[in-house]
Structure 1
Amino acid sequence: MKRPTLSKKIDQLIYRNHKSATTNVIGCLVLHAIRSEIFERFQRAYVGMANKESSELGNLPTSPMAERARTCETTGERLRNRELAYGFDLDYKNDPPTLVPCTWSKNYAIGLYGRIGLQCYNLQNGTNLKFKRLEKHSTKRTGRYSSVYITLDATDPATGSVCSFQTQFSNAGSHLRLRARITWLTFAARIKQIPNEPIDDDWDEDTPGINEFYKVPLPKWFSDERGSKKYYVPESELHDNDWLQLLMEVAFFSKANRRLDAYLPLELNSVVVETLEDEPRDKLKADNAIFYISYKCCADPCSTPLAGDHRAVVRKTMDGKPGHMCLEVAFTKEQNKNEEE
C-alpha cells in the first residue's frame, strides 16, 4: 500500500478539521501556515544541497540539481544588476563589485561637478532642474581621465517634483598648449534610468560641430579683431542666471587651484560671450562659446587672499552627443608665471 505524502497528510488533517469544526477558522489558518513553512524549509534545503554539491565536486561535472540552483542565482543577480548603474551604483574598482554607499555628503567639489552635469542636461533639454543635495559618488581612473560618478537629487521648480539624477564628470587635467588650467568634461547627464543604459564616454574631437576656432589656445581676453560675434550680457541677466553663476564658480575654483572646501560669496560684474553661432538667439545657450567673465569675491580680505576682483576666460564646447560637454578655464596671469618658473 502506497503511503500518503506529507503534503497529503496535511491536506487530510485540514479537511477533517474543517469538516468537524467549520467555525474553527483560526485552526485552518494555522495549519496552512505550518504547511507553507514546511515547504519553504524544504526549498531552502534543496538549494543548500545543490550549492554544497557544487562546491564539493569542484571541477567535476555538476549534477542537474546544482546546475538549476546556479542558473536561478545567476538569473536573479542579472535582473538585479539591470537596475544598478555601472559606477553610480556599483563600484568596479573592487572585485567583486561592491555597492556604492549613500553618504548624503556636503562635499563642495563633488557638488560643483554634479551641478555642471545638471546644467549640461538643462542646456540640452530646455529644462530648469535645480540641485538639491548629493546622494553618493564613486571615483575611477579611466585612461587619462579621472572620473567621478555622481548621483544627486534634483528638483523641478515648476512642479516641485524631485528626481534622482546621474552625471559622469571627468577631469582631463591641464593643457599647457591650449593655455587651459583645467579641462573638465561630462560624459553623462541624465535622470536615473531603470534598466541601466551604457554611457558613451568617447569625446568626438573631430565632430564638424566644433569649429577650429575653438581648438586653438585660449585667448587672454576678448578682442574686436577676432572674426566672431560678441554678446554683452546686460546687467539685468547677470544675477539670476544659474548657468553664468556656475561658470563663475568654476572659474573661481580654478583660480583657487582647486583647493576650495566651501563656497565663498561671489558677484558677477560683467560677461561677454564670443561665438561663431547665429543660433540660438540666446547666445548664453550656444553649444560652443567663449565666456569672458569679470567678477568679485566678496569675502572678508582678512579671511582669504582671494578676496577682490578677478577676470576669467572659460571655453565651452559640445560634440553633439547627449550628456557631453567640455569646459576649459584659461590660466590666470599668476598661474602663467608659476608655470613659466
Structure 2
Amino acid sequence: MAWLIMEEEEVDGIPVNEFGRLEIGFDYGFDFTGIVTPPVSTDYDVTLYAKLGLYCYNFQKGTNLKFVRWEKYNTSTGTAYIDNYITLEAMDPSCNSVFSFQTVFSAAGCYNQDTYHVQDWRVLACRPTCGKSVNEYFDRHEAMDPFYTGKMPKWLSDDALAFDNKKYYVVQESDLHENDWLLVFMEMVFLQEKSCVSSSDHKAIIRKTMDGVPEHMSLEIALVK
C-alpha cells in the first residue's frame, strides 16, 4: 500500500497549502490585481463588508468584537463570484485589546424573483488573522433546510401591516443602539439600492442562512419594488 503525504512547503518564501496552491488572498495579490490600502473611493463599501464579517464571527462565537479600521484588501475575480479578502483591526471591548482580523466577503450573484431583485452576499471567512486556508465552497443545497433555499418570503400586505402586528416587530431606536448589527444590515440594503434602484422608500426582505461550516454566512437581500 502506498501513501501520498502532502505537507505544507514554501516556494520562494511563500507558503503552499496541502493542495499545492500558493496561499494567496490576504497577503499576496491575485493575477491582474493587487493589495489595496486606504484611502480609496470604495472605503465605505469595504468598511461595510468588514463589519459584516465581524458580525458573523460575533454571532457564531458569542463575542462582541468592534470594528476599528480596515488595513488592506484584495479582490479575486477569477470565478463567477467576486471575493474580497479583507484584513482589518478589531477591538475586544472587554479588555480594550486591538488585534488583526481577517474576513472574506463574496458577491455571490443576483437574480429576479417576481417583482423582487435579490442579491446574495456571503461571508466565507471571519477569524483573527492566521495562516488557515479559506473554505470558499458554500453549500446551499445539502446542508440547509429546503425552506430556506426556496423563494424569498413575500412582503406583508398593507392590511397585515396595519392590523396584524403579531407577524412583525417594529424596531425601536433603542434597539439600534443596543444591536449595531441592525445598522449593518440596513446599510447593506442602502448599498444594494444605490446600485440597483432609485426610490425614496426603502423596502427590503433579508434572509440570513448558514451552511453549517464555521465562519460561513449568507445574507440574501430582496429589494421590494
Q: Distance in 2 between matches of 1:76 and 1:203?
A: 29
Matched, 1:188 2:125: yes
Larger Rg, first or second structure (1 or 2): 1
> 1:250 matched to which residue of 2?
188
Q: Distance in 2 between matches of 1:164 and 1:332?
A: 37
Q: Distance in 1 between matches of 2:189 and 2:36?
A: 31
> 1:326 matched to which residue of 2?
218
> CA deviation digits over 1:120-157, x for unaligned, max 9?
11101111111111100111114210111111111111
The aligned runs of 1:1-341 (5 Å cut-off) are 77-78=12-13, 81=15, 86-93=24-31, 100=35, 102-103=37-38, 105=40, 107-177=43-113, 179-193=116-130, 196-208=131-143, 210-222=144-156, 232=169, 235=172, 236-257=174-195, 309-333=201-225
> CA deviation digits over 1:184-233, x for unaligned, max 9?
1111111101xx1111100112234x222222222331478xxxx95636
Given that 1:163 and 1:191 are in contact with CA atoms closer than 8 Å, whether structure 2 keeps it comes out as yes
Q: Distance in 1 between matches of 2:34 and 2:186?
A: 35
Given that 1:132 and 1:153 are in contact with CA atoms closer than 8 Å, whether structure 2 keeps it comes out as yes
Secondary structure at the aligned position of 2:185 is classed as helix
Given that 2:112 and 2:118 are in contact with CA atoms closer than 8 Å, whether structure 1 keeps it comes out as yes
Range with bigger deviation, 119-128 or 233-242: 233-242
Distance 1:104 1:122, change over 3 A: farther
Q: Distance in 2 between matches of 1:205 and 1:170?
A: 15
Q: Distance in 2 between matches of 1:91 and 1:190?
A: 20
Identity across the alignment (%) = 41
Distance 1:130 1:220, change over 3 A: same
Distance 1:164 1:328, change over 3 A: same
Amino acid at match of 1:312: A
Distance 1:85 1:114, change over 3 A: farther
Q: Distance in 2 between matches of 1:104 and 1:254?
A: 22
Q: Mind listing any 5+ residue stretches in structure 1 that lack a counterpart?
A: 1-73, 260-304, 334-341
How many residue pairs get aligned? The number is 202
Distance 1:75 1:232, change over 3 A: closer
Q: TM-score, normalised by structure 1?
A: 0.53
Secondary structure at the aligned position of 2:110 is classed as coil
Secondary structure at the aligned position of 1:90 is classed as coil
Q: Which runs of 4+ in 1 moved over 6 A?
A: none
Distance 1:85 1:250, change over 3 A: same
Distance 1:160 1:104, change over 3 A: farther
Given that 1:180 and 1:218 are in contact with CA atoms closer than 8 Å, whether structure 2 keeps it comes out as no
Q: Mind listing any 5+ residue stretches in structure 2 that lack a counterpart?
A: 1-8, 17-21, 161-165
- Over the aligned positions, Cα root-mean-square deviation in angstroms equals 2.9
Q: Shift in Å at residue 181 of structure 1?
A: 3.0
Distance 1:244 1:131, change over 3 A: same
Q: Shift in Å at residue 168 of structure 1?
A: 0.8
Secondary structure at the aligned position of 1:313 is classed as strand
Range with bigger deviation, 199-208 or 150-159: 199-208
